[in-house]
Amino acid sequence: MDNDKAGNCIASDKQAEFIQLYNSEPRLCLPALVPGSDSLHLFTEGDVLYEAMLGSISNARNNILLESYIFGNDEVGWTFAEALAEKARAGLEVLLHLDAAGTLLRGGLKLGKYLREHNVHVKWFNRWSWFDPLRYNRRHHRKLLVVDKSDAYLGGFNIHRQSSHSIFGRERWRDAHVRFGNTLAQQAAEMFYAFWDGRVHWAMPENGGTTSVLVPNNSAECRYLLNCFITAMLACAKHFIYLTTPYFVPDNRTMKALNDSAGRGVDVRILVPAKSNIPLAHWAGRHLYSTVLKAGVRIYEYKPGLMHAKTIVVDNSWGTVGSSNFDYRSFFLNYELNMITRDSLLCRKLRNQFLEDLTQADEVTDWRWSARGFTSHFCESAGWLLRRWL
């Protein structure tokens, strides 16, 4: 599979407007969204998010749908487990969809047993199989909570102690999540049920006249839909691109969109963590620093802890928040879910949060980067060679 041909995605005319860029092929597409307001609430701290999510679970009357990559066997995970169990015992439909690789290795069996004993329906995505070991490499990386099909949360936060400032301290994982309701929450519920039932290629709904849409990284119309949309957002930028990602390992076409934007005068800034929980991915990203710095892209490394947010804001006109990292795995292997929006208030919040985060980051300068030693060069090259498997 040639992942760098991901831009070949062409969505249905009912679902997307097509924008021909620089007379190049394949053409890039963006969802047909209109500027407006969807009453979206942005969370950037785990403690605040978890309190809101637990409040929604407590107020549930009919059903609770929850999916996560990591559901920790820790203080946070057990608080959620007990809240879900209480609602299941009360007769509500409670469905919990977890990734086997992300959760089972973190004590998930004990949690799963407890939840099943209390009537929570637990499903593990791609458990290890000796008959089909390669499927284990494809992960369920989505993070979504939908309550009563009317109150929903989506983003990059896992359910574990590392995202709690009160438990983990200043080095907690900084992330981003968004809360929404109305028809978007109904769409989220439908997407949850589809994935729960094994329908991984979601048919994108018509979205004419809407301000935000939920986008998986593949659909019935396009195998690389999310990557296509994100590349188009970058290519259409006129003023600025502010991108936050824990793992910066883009495919060639997406990186070219960033570099080309910087080359035509767009203010392109990328925020990544100074230290990563996956060293190989971190080294692979650093392998690209020289290339993007020469193109005029500015790179910053966040110092306090792991920057785990996955957000992009373009010109205060387009934004995305979700589970997708800016790397090969998220674009081409994992199952992801993002919101793409033209909500003006959320875009401004994403921009302001990005600029605030920069005050706690060091800019990577070309002279500083050229001075690194042989060991760094070696590790970065090794990471880059393995980039499609990280």
pLDDT tens-digit map of 330-361: 999 899 999 999 999 999 999 999 999 999 99
* Cβ atoms of residues 242 and 351 within 8 Å: yes
pLDDT tier, 318 (very low <50, low <70, confident <90, very high otherwise): very high
Where b means 16+ CB within 10 Å and e means fewer, 310-346 reads bbbbbbbbbbbbbbbbbbbbbbbbbbbbbbbbbbeeb
* Candidates 3.90.226.10, 3.40.50.300, 3.40.50.720, 3.30.870.10; CATH matching 41-192: 3.30.870.10
What single-letter DSSP state applies at residue 59?
Answer: T
Query: What is the dihedral sign for C-alpha 333, 338, 342, 347?
Result: negative
Q: Are 13 and 203 in contact (CB under 8 A)?
A: no
**Residue 314 pLDDT exceeds 80:** yes
Q: What rounded mean pLDDT belongs to the chain?
A: 86
| 184 C-beta neighbours (distance < 10 Å), count | 22
Size of the chain, expressed as the number of residues it contains = 390
pLDDT, tens digit, for every residue of 229-287? Answer: 999 999 999 999 999 999 999 888 999 999 999 999 999 999 999 988 776 666 676 77
Lowest mean pLDDT among 6-20, 125-139, 234-248, 367-381: 6-20
Q: Looking at residues 52-81, what average pLDDT do you find? A: 97
**Residue that is written with structure tokens 């983990």 in the block:** 168
Q: Decide: 145 and 60 in contact? Cβ < 8 Å.
A: no
Instruction: Express each pLDDT in 85-107 by its tens digit.
Output: 999 999 999 999 999 988 887 77
- Asked if pLDDT for residue 17 goes beyond 70, the answer is no
- Model confidence pTM above 0.85: yes
pLDDT of residue 242: 98
Looking at residue 290, what is its pLDDT? 82
> By 3-state DSSP, what share of the chain in percent is helix, strand and coil, each rounded to 5?
40, 25, 35
Written as six digits, the tokens of 320 are 């995305």
Supply the pLDDT for residue 23.
Answer: 33
Residues 6+ apart with CB under 8 A from 298: 267, 268, 269, 270, 363
349 sits in which H/E element: helix 344-358
Supply the CATH classification number for the domain 25-38+211-389: 3.30.870.10
Q: Map residue 228 onto helix, strand or coil.
A: helix
| Strand duo 240-244 + 93-99: pairing | unpaired
pLDDT score of 7: 38
C-beta atoms surrounding 91 within 10 Å: 9
- Residue 264: both structure tokens together: 């035509």
Rounded Cα distance between 141 and 327, Å, is 13
Q: Which of the given ranges, 18-32, 119-133, 152-166, 193-207, has the highest pLDDT on average? A: 152-166
| pLDDT over threshold 80, residue 20 | no
Boundaries of every domain in the chain: 25-38+211-389, 41-192
**pLDDT band of 370, cuts 50, 70, 90:** low
Q: Which of the given ranges, 156-170, 194-208, 283-297, has the highest pLDDT on average?
A: 156-170
Q: What is the pLDDT at residue 256?
A: 93
